[in-house]
Amino acid sequence: MELDRRMLCGLFQDLAVTVLCDEPLARHTTWRIGGSADAMVIVETVEQAQSVLAAARRAAIPVFVLGRGSNLLVRDGGIRGLVIKLGEGLSEVSRDGDRVTALAGKGMVSTANIAIQNGLSGLEFATGIPGSVGGAVTMNAGAHGSEIKDALLAATVLTADGELLAVPAADMGFAYRHSVVREREWTVLSATFALHPGDRDEMRERVYAWRRRRQATQPLSLPNCGSVFRNPPGDYAARLVEAAGLKGVRIGNAAISELHANFIVNLGGARAVDVLQLMERAAAEVWERFGVRLIPEVRLVGEDEARG
């Protein structure tokens, strides 16, 4: 779909939101990779999100909602249409007894740490999830043997028609790294977690031990998206990629990490095509050697070819 970028950006100028035209998405992803969005609108309130989505719907403009840009590979041609980015205004956290509610733009790690500070247990695992609350709910993110579905009570979502819905966790269709959010074209705006009292010192020590292990085994100093492939049943993607002899393999300025074979790192100026070729090679060699199909955990979006 060919869009006039200037006209597209102009559609949102009167909505009291920040509008960025032809915005490089590498600035907004943890991989620091990706072409440009035709237009990006940064929303700070639920009402702004509703207004922007309504304007895009009236103009039949395709929309992509972006949180913190983890677990995401934007192809080198960028994203056609509108990217809505959740701003800092959508990052508040509140507590009501043993329940914690976080707006979708809040970091999952920060939300989990706030729960711990308040003596509430059930989100410690989420200190290993680098994305936003909205993204974590959307993909049922997990770490350390637990998933978002284990703690979520309900989510508030915005439908494609602009309606706000409170959706119980039981109706989110959770599976491994999956919910019904994308297929129903919902936008997660907030999440409420049902927690329980815990010992702050015990929780902090557990989180600290996990953090030390991540620092020793994951390439946290280089831009990455987290795990590239899902773990196959009864095994680990990292073990299979390493057993295939692919640690350290480089294409362009992207490389399979020497520390953790299920991480692909940006060595500086990597392109999406470099990452995709590494993913294809890893999947092909693991299939050939072990007969196991590796399924991407990272979400791929955008156009393959750069615009002229």
Residues designated as active site: 177, 227, 297
Find all residues with CB under 8 Å of 185, minimum gap 6, and list them.
159, 160
Q: How far apart, in Å, are the Cα atoms of 245 and each of 239, 264, 282?
A: 10, 14, 10
How many C-beta neighbours within 10 Å does residue 297 have?
Answer: 19
Find all residues with CB under 8 Å of 126, minimum gap 6, and list them.
108, 109, 111, 112, 136, 141, 143, 148, 151
> What is the DSSP pairing of strand 18-24 with strand 36-43?
antiparallel
In the DSSP assignment, the letter for residue 239 is H
Q: How far apart are CA 271 and CA 75, in angstroms?
A: 8
Give burial (CB, 10 Å; 0-12/13-18/19+) of 90. Answer: buried
Q: Is the dihedral of CA 181, 298, 224, 292 positive or negative?
A: positive
Instruction: Let me know: does 90 contact 46? Beta carbons within 8 Å.
Output: yes
Q: How far apart are CA 134 and CA 65, in angstroms?
A: 10
Q: Quickly list H helices, the chain.
A: 5-10, 46-58, 108-117, 133-139, 200-217, 237-243, 272-290
Q: How far apart are CA 96 and CA 262, in angstroms?
A: 38
How many C-beta neighbours within 10 Å does residue 39 have?
Answer: 27
